[in-house]
């Protein structure tokens, strides 16, 4: 007889081993620090002509998660239409190498990237200025090395074009891209990523492009595979099995200084999550310094949910961080705002587990064994009127095979 699926208790992670089947508070809390990746370039990096305008980014993040790497994208630009993954990047449509270089001092130190994915130069290929592009690229790389002294740089050859004259310029430029990567490669921080051969372009069409220079979805997927292989060879061994949720650190295109000043009073879109009555909380307001945002769970009913591509029978551990929150709290004159401290977490096919959060961030784990290939995961506030807890850094990992 097959036993019914059960959900283990939620446990608090401490510096010692997690006590199975118990509920308790951890003495300390160590926020995870995902690998910070900056996609850097022009409209191809921005994702022009791709579904969801995410370009290669969503697919690359899925690749890294499947390999078990906890990663997030960083940069000053945000894609408000991205359906999955992490919406940040650093790119300007139509920009040349020379024009992008002065923006780097504003962008790079603030983002603190661990890796920069550089695909730049396409807009230099349209006329006689293509001959100056290699010199501009050398200055560009030197600037990156100065601004991000501990980051790795993947310097890519640029993808092909359907226009034969431009393609001749691209071929010449790409030879210089390889040479520049090798010139600075002795520092152990600059690596060549040969992107050009991965995509096919034909003057007759029927290729990996959507127009003369921009990829279609198939072309962007091929770009993602090149970046994946280049990163995989250089990232540390992942901390565990595949990560199943697309946006673990609750990056959101709707966060802003205004939302921060309003203390989370506006609902937000978290790509990859279903939001019913939750609010965005900026990392600084949440007391975080690992690049994460937080979700403020409002009074019931409401939830923050996501779908996991699970393997039936293979255990999943969900690690998340939570604390009490007062975002958006309101009270009558002379009364104190109520702060909800109840938090529920539930996977499809399992009973709801509850956590009583504290005023400090704590790290919790929730273990379950999925019963199907598609599992919903939900966070819900308690039933007490008022604002609910804050939640962030939700990493659902499948057990390694």
Are residue 214 and residue 357 in the same domain, yes or no? Answer: no
Residues 112 and 95 in one domain: yes
Q: Which of 168, 203, 232 is the last residue in one of the domains? A: 232
Residue 281 pLDDT = 79
pLDDT score, position 68: 97
> CATH number for the domain including 350?
2.60.120.260
User: What is the model's pLDDT at position 67?
Assistant: 97
Q: Is residue 6 part of a domain?
A: no
* pLDDT computed for residue 382 by the predictor: 80
Residues 271 and 180 in one domain: no
Q: What is residue 264's predicted lDDT score, i.e. its pLDDT?
A: 43
Q: Which CATH number fits the domain that encloses residue 154? A: 3.40.50.1110
- Choose the final residue of a domain: 232, 263, 293: 232
pLDDT of residue 298: 75
Instruction: Please check whether residues 83 and 193 belong to one and the same domain.
Output: yes
Tokens 């690690």, residue located: 319
How many Å apart are CA 298 and CA 296, to the nearest integer? 6
Q: Is there a single domain that holds both residue 187 and residue 264?
A: no
Q: Are 242 and 66 in contact (CB under 8 A)?
A: yes
Residue 278: per-residue pLDDT? 80
Residues 292 and 157 in one domain: no
Residue 133 is predicted with a pLDDT of 98
- How many structural domains does the chain have? 2
Give the pLDDT confidence of 273-298 residue by residue, as tens digits: 998 878 777 777 677 788 898 888 87
Cα torsion 206, 193, 69, 253: sign: negative
Q: Is the same domain home to 200 and 255? A: no
Q: Do the domain assignments include residue 1?
A: no
Q: pLDDT at position 334, please?
A: 46
pLDDT for res 300: 65
Distance between CA atoms of residues 211 and 137, nearest Å:
25
Are 284 and 379 in the same domain? yes
pLDDT in tens, the chain (401 residues): 333 333 444 544 432 223 232 333 444 687 899 999 999 999 999 999 999 999 999 999 999 999 999 999 999 999 988 889 999 999 999 999 999 999 999 999 999 999 999 999 999 999 888 999 999 999 999 999 999 999 999 999 999 999 999 999 999 999 999 999 999 997 789 999 999 999 999 999 999 999 999 999 999 999 999 999 999 999 999 989 999 999 999 998 876 544 444 444 455 689 999 988 787 777 776 777 888 988 888 766 788 999 999 999 999 999 999 988 755 444 444 444 556 688 899 999 998 899 888 888 899 999 999 999 999 999 998 866 556 788 999 999 999 87
For residues 84 and 119, membership in a common domain is answered with yes
Range of the domain at 307: 11-31+248-398
Q: Is residue 241 part of a domain?
A: no
Q: 39 and 19: one domain?
A: no
Query: Which residue, chain included where needed, has tokens 């139509």?
Result: 94
Regarding whether 180 and 52 lie in a shared domain, the answer is: yes
The reply to whether 5 falls in a domain is: no
pLDDT at residue 121 in the model: 98
Global pTM value: 0.89
End-to-end, the C-alpha distance of the chain in Å comes to: 26
Q: Does 182 lie in the same domain as 275?
A: no
**Which pLDDT score is estimated for 187?**
76
Q: What pLDDT does 326 receive?
A: 59
């Amino acid at each position: 007889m097959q036993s019914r699926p059960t959900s283990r208790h939620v446990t608090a992670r401490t510096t010692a081993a997690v006590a199975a089947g118990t509920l308790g508070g951890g003495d300390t809390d160590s926020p995870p620090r995902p690998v910070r990746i900056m996609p850097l370039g022009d409209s191809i990096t921005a994702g022009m002509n791709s579904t969801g305008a995410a370009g290669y980014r969503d697919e690359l993040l899925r690749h890294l998660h499947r390999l078990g790497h906890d990663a997030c994208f960083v940069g000053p630009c945000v894609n408000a239409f991205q359906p999955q993954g992490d919406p940040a990047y650093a790119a300007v449509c139509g920009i040349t190498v020379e024009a992008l270089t002065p923006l780097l001092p504003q962008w790079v130190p603030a983002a603190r990237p661990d890796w920069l994915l550089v695909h730049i130069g396409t807009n230099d290929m349209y006329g006689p200025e293509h001959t100056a592009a290699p010199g501009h690229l050398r200055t560009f790389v030197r600037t990156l090395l100065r601004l991000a002294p501990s980051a790795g740089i993947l310097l890519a050859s640029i993808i092909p074009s359907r226009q034969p004259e431009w393609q001749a310029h691209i071929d010449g430029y790409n030879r210089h891209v390889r040479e520049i990567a090798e010139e600075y490669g002795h520092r152990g921080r600059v690596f060549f990523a040969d992107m050009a051969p991965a995509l096919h372009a034909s003057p007759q069409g029927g290729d990996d492009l959507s127009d003369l220079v921009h990829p279609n979805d198939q072309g962007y997927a091929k770009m993602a595979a090149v970046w994946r292989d280049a990163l995989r060879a250089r990232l540390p061994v992942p901390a565990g099995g595949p990560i199943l949720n697309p946006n673990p650190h609750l990056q959101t295109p709707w966060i802003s200084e205004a939302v921060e000043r309003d203390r989370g009073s506006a609902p937000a879109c978290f790509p990859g999550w279903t939001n019913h009555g939750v609010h965005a909380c900026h990392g600084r307001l949440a007391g975080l310094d690992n690049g994460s945002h937080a979700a403020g769970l409002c009074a019931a009913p409401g939830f923050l949910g996501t779908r996991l591509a699970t393997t039936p029978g293979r255990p999943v551990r969900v690690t998340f961080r939570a604390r009490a929150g007062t975002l958006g709290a309101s009270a009558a004159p002379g009364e104190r705002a109520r702060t909800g401290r109840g938090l529920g977490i539930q996977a499809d096919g399992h009973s709801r587990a509850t956590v009583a959060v504290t005023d400090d961030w704590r790290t919790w784990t929730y273990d379950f064994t999925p019963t199907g290939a598609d599992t919903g995961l939900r966070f819900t506030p308690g039933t007490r009127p008022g604002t609910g807890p804050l939640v962030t850094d939700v990493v659902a990992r499948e057990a390694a095979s």
